[in-house]
């Protein structure tokens, strides 16, 4: 650089620095802060009394699960983040039989749900072909996990892919015991 020449304040390198800082901040928020955002007992809202048909032909009635912590994993087969997160959620369900984890496919026909569940080895799958969950649970994107405590109240809702979802679910389960 020639003496006396001014160096530009804004460069492409600085833009990448800012983007990297934003990405790191987002990851820290997503992994460490967002999973800890719980509604207090007084601000928790009652979960709706929904009933969904399962792939195995039985019904899942959320109201009948009082006394248990329930994780509702809302997803769609076309959702790429769901394809990444569903196996992690299923692994948590297998390793923690004391809680109920219910994957719920939203808005798709039985054949699509069945194929997706077989492909990813999902168990206990329920179906919401008419997408009522979006209104009942304020689902705005997939995947979304809703945590219902043993008293039947919604205590947390996590939207979007979380690479540390098993840790978040474990923390929630310990907190709600």
CB-CB neighbours of 37 under 10 Å: 9
Question: Cα(146)–Cα(152) distance, rounded to whole angstroms?
Answer: 12
Domains and CATH numbers, the chain: 39-176 (3.40.30.10)
pLDDT of residue 103: 98
For residues 126-134, average pLDDT? 95
Percent over 90 (pLDDT), the chain: 67
For the stretch 40-53, pLDDT in tens is 666 688 999 999 99
For the stretch 51-100, pLDDT in tens is 999 999 999 999 999 899 999 999 999 999 999 999 999 999 999 998 99
Does residue 107 surpass a pLDDT of 90? yes
pLDDT of residue 12: 79
End-to-end CA distance of the chain: 64
pLDDT of residue 36: 46
Alpha helix (H) residue ranges in the chain: 12-28, 80-95, 110-120, 133-136, 165-176
Quick check: pTM over 0.85? no
pLDDT of residue 75: 97
DSSP-assigned letter for residue 66: T
């Amino acid at each position: 650089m020639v003496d006396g020449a001014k160096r530009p304040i804004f460069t492409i390198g600085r833009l990448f620095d800012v983007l990297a800082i934003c990405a790191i901040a987002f990851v820290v928020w997503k992994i460490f802060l967002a999973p800890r955002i719980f509604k207090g007992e007084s601000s928790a809202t009652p979960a709706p009394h929904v009933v969904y048909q399962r792939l195995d032909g039985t019904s899942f009635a959320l109201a009948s699960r009082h006394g248990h912590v329930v994780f509702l994993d809302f997803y769609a087969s076309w959702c790429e983040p769901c394809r990444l997160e569903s196996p992690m959620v299923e692994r948590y369900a297998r390793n923690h039989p004391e809680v109920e984890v219910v994957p719920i496919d939203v808005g798709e026909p039985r054949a699509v749900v069945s194929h997706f569940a077989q492909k990813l080895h999902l168990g206990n799958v329920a179906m919401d072909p008419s997408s009522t969950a979006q209104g009942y649970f304020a689902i705005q994107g997939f995947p979304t996990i809703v945590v219902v405590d043993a008293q039947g109240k919604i205590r947390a809702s996590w939207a979007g892919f979380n690479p540390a979802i098993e840790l978040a679910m474990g923390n929630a389960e310990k907190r709600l015991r």
